């Protein structure tokens, strides 16, 4: 069970108020709304688009520029063969169950989670404990547990429910079915029994070209395009290892039952990094010392398997040293992920890193951690960071024959003693005819131990017998006239290896929503209006220009300020409506605008202006150049408001009429 969500100022969190604000101010809106909408699809309005772009801008600077990553933009359409090879066609699935009487579909793990959480809430109510009542979107209510019965549970049963919830990500389809049966989990709307969970592939399928002969999918991630371009990226990077590629773009997942607004959608923006590293030498990172003292809250898999959710606060250096985090490169990115989240305004008290349990982690992964952010929906995965080993490059290389490997000169030549097979090609071809290549490939694939044994057979019997599936009865005899097997010393001057991959994967939409919750609060004197305290760096609009009145003398100053701010790359908007200054600022506090400039009659006299801080409502006064320099420093993160208020003289007055307009 997640801890209770609070606002930025520590008050009780009201999700309905925030969602009302975000829709009213058009941060986002349901797609195709006038046609009734489509579940799991949303459009971003002007402030939402600007906030997203600003988050991406900080992400690029923090990762791509800082780490000298190679950014690529790959197609969203992906042929079936690529995703078959990567394993997505067979394994990219969630578990769904169905009400056979109504046809209603549920995602099994979500249903189990919702029902058990509802029963725990009912237990709290029966015990007289305070519970938070959440206002859900009416369109989603039919799939929620609507009527929570106040039924007291045995302590052992309640603890068992909590243990299941802490391990919910570790259950497979069969185990979810057993839980549904054990706890009598049915359709919450009508109490109908549900079918056992079955796998549902989450990819949107399509066909490429007019003949529909080439099957394809909308990509479920941006990673595969980076893997397929590995050889070209390595060449672009002058064969230097390690290196990282990065990609930002839309991905698609055909969610079974989208819920939780922007947190679970069918089309979403991702930012993914593929850091290619030499597996030899423990996956060290050259800059690990720069982050080794960064403290993280880690929830390891052993704690989760015990049914608990206790985090351990430790430095990433210690976590790597003790083996809790598998290697330095993985640890380096976990620390860098946290630093990025803090930079954009995520609440440091609402971040944790959860290690994947056995059933969650791909079979090829060495280790995987999720950066989870606390929201009113509980802990939500917003960034995944996995050590994918060499899986992706290996399977694509095996399928296509493309050399997705690194070749580098050895510092010292390596002498290798090995058993080598030599074929007499002039006789070998006529002997095996059309099966020649198949037999030759089988000989090339023989292990060193088997070659040594066959060399003895060749001396003793004058022939060898090897397994060749698909040729004759699966066994082929090769006489000594066609083959020689000898032990020789080979000198290797070039090392060839397949890199391992560390993959940080960011769900930008989820980060966007969590950031809004973490930034939200309301003033005590004006609780009807919310405030979004975005850092100036990522705020949708940086500055509100407010002329004291519509007096003609103010218009040249409005234009001059706006042009000056645009020249230094600072977004701004003008509010010259008839409302009071307080109300105008209050409206823009909802949009997260961090700064405001007031043009008054003194501005006309001496060309000075007041600069207002959104969070404290403090104001300072200065000339045009002073004000613009202060704004630039705040927006670029070079200074905080406390620095500006020390440098420029404080100004009292002007802001009145705070309240709903």
Residue 428's CB: how many other CB atoms inside 10 A?
17
- Using one digit for the tens of pLDDT, what is the confidence trace for 207-221? 998 887 899 999 999
Distance of CA 513 to the CA centre of its chain: 13
What confidence score (pLDDT) does residue 530 get?
94
Query: At 129, which helix (H) or strand (E)?
Result: none
Whether the per-residue pLDDT at 661 is higher than 50: the answer is no
What confidence score (pLDDT) does residue 145 get?
58
Residue range 620-630: mean pLDDT, rounded: 96
Whether the per-residue pLDDT at 33 is higher than 60: the answer is yes
Phi, psi of 14 (to 5 degrees): -115, 100
Residue range 283-287: mean pLDDT, rounded: 95
pTM: 0.82
Domains of the chain by range and CATH? 15-86+203-392+501-506 (3.30.930.10), 93-201 (3.30.40.230), 410-494 (3.30.720.200), 524-647 (3.40.50.800)
Q: Where are the alpha helices (DSSP H) in 209-264?
A: 223-228, 230-236
The C-alpha atoms of residue 562 and residue 582 are separated, in whole angstroms, by 21
The per-residue b/e assignment along 364-403, b for 16 or more CB within 10 angstroms, e otherwise, is ebbbbbbbbbbbbbbbbbbbbbbbbbbbbbebbbeeeeee
Whether the per-residue pLDDT at 140 is higher than 60: the answer is no
E-only strand ranges, 49-138: 70-71, 77-79, 93-98, 105-107
Whether the per-residue pLDDT at 333 is higher than 90: the answer is yes
What confidence score (pLDDT) does residue 147 get?
61
What confidence score (pLDDT) does residue 172 get?
86
The per-residue b/e assignment along 2-15, b for 16 or more CB within 10 angstroms, e otherwise, is eeebbbbeeeebbb
Confidence of residue 178 (pLDDT cuts 50, 70, 90): very high
3-state secondary structure of 235: helix
Residue range 28-47: mean pLDDT, rounded: 96
Q: Label the pairing between strands 595-599 and 543-547.
A: parallel
What confidence score (pLDDT) does residue 131 get?
59
What confidence score (pLDDT) does residue 362 get?
76
Q: Which residue has the higher pLDDT, 626 or 211?
A: 626
The C-alpha atoms of residue 548 and residue 597 are separated, in whole angstroms, by 10
Most confident of 36-40, 51-55, 102-106: 51-55
Whether the per-residue pLDDT at 490 is higher than 70: the answer is yes
User: Closest Cα partner for 650 from 622, 620, 628?
Assistant: 620
User: Closest Cα partner for 354 from 302, 290, 315?
Assistant: 302
Report the C-alpha dihedral over residues 438, 439, 445, 451, rounded to 10 degrees. 180
**Structural contact between residues 508 and 346, judged by C-beta atoms closer than 8 angstroms:** no
**Structural contact between residues 69 and 82, judged by C-beta atoms closer than 8 angstroms:** no
The C-alpha atoms of residue 429 and residue 43 are separated, in whole angstroms, by 64
The region of weakest confidence among 22-31, 182-191, 246-255, 468-477 is 468-477
Residue range 389-410: mean pLDDT, rounded: 94
Query: At 109, which helix (H) or strand (E)?
Result: helix 108-126
**Structural contact between residues 121 and 144, judged by C-beta atoms closer than 8 angstroms:** no
Q: Name the average pLDDT for the chain.
A: 91
């Amino acid at each position: 069970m997640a801890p209770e969500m609070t606002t930025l100022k520590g008050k009780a969190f009201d999700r309905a108020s925030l969602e009302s604000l975000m829709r009213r101010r058009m941060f986002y809106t349901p797609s195709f709304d006038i046609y009734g909408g489509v579940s799991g699809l949303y459009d971003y309005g002007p402030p939402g688009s600007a906030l997203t772009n600003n988050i991406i801008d900080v992400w690029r600077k923090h990762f791509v520029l800082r780490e000298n990553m190679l950014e690529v933009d790959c197609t969203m359409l992906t042929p079936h063969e690529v995703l078959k090879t990567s394993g997505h066609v067979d394994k990219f699935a969630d578990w769904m169950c169905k009400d056979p009487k109504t046809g209603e579909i549920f995602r099994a793990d979500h249903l189990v989670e919702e029902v058990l959480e509802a029963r725990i809430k009912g237990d709290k109510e029966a015990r007289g404990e305070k519970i938070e009542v959440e206002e859900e979107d009416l369109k989603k209510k039919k799939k929620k547990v609507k009527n929570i019965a106040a039924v007291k549970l045995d302590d052992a049963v309640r603890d068992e429910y909590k243990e299941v919830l802490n391990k919910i990500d570790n259950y497979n389809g069969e185990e979810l079915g057993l839980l549904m049966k054990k706890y009598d989990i049915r359709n919450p709307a009508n109490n109908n029994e549900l079918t056992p969970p079955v796998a549902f592939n989450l990819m949107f399928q399509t066909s490429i070209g007019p003949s529909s002969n080439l099957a394809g999918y909308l990509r479920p991630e941006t990673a595969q395009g980076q893997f397929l371009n590995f050889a070209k990226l390595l060449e672009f990077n002058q064969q230097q290892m390690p290196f990282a590629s990065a990609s930002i773009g839309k991905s698609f997942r055909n969610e079974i039952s989208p819920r939780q607004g922007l947190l679970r959608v069918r089309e979403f923006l991702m930012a993914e990094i593929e850091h290619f590293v030499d597996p030899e030498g423990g996956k060290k990172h050259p800059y690990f010392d720069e982050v080794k003292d960064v403290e993280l809250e880690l929830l390891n898999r052993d704690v989760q398997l015990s049914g608990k959710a206790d985090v351990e606060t430790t430095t990433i250096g210690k976590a790597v040293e003790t083996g809790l985090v598998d290697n330095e490169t993985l640890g380096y990115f976990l620390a860098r992920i946290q630093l990025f989240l803090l930079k954009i305004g995520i609440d440091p008290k609402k971040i944790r890193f959860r290690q994947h349990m056995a059933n969650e982690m791909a079979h090829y992964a060495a280790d995987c951690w999720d950066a989870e952010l606390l929201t009113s929906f509980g802990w939500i995965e917003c960034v995944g960071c996995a050590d994918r080993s060499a899986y992706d490059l290996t399977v694509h290389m095996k399928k296509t024959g493309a050399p997705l490997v690194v070749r580098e000169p050895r510092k010292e030549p390596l002498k290798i003693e090995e058993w080598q097979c030599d074929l007499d090609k002039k006789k070998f071809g006529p002997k095996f005819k059309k099966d020649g290549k198949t037999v030759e490939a089988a000989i090339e694939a023989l292990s060193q131990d088997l070659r040594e044994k066959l060399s003895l057979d060749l001396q003793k019997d004058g022939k060898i017998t090897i397994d060749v599936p698909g040729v004759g009865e699966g066994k082929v005899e090769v006489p000594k006239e066609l083959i020689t097997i000898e032990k020789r010393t080979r000198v290797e001057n070039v090392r060839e290896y397949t890199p391992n991959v560390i993959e940080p994967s960011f769900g930008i939409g989820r980060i966007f929503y969590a950031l809004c919750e973490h930034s939200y609060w309301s003033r005590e004197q004006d609780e009807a209006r919310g405030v979004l305290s975005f850092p100036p760096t990522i705020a949708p609009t940086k500055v509100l220009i407010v002329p004291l009145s519509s007096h003609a003398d103010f218009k040249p100053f409005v234009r001059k300020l706006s042009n000056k701010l645009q020249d230094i790359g600072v977004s701004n908007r003008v509010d010259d409506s008839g409302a009071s200054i307080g109300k105008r600022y209050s409206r823009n506090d909802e949009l997260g605008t961090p700064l405001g400039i007031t043009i008054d009659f003194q501005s006309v006299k001496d060309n000075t202006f007041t600069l207002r801080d959104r969070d404290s409502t403090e104001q300072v006064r200065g000339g045009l150049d002073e004000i613009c320099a202060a704004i630039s420093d705040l927006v670029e993160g070079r200074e905080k408001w406390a620095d500006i208020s020390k440098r420029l003289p404080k100004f009292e007055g002007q802001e009145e009429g705070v309240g709903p307009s």
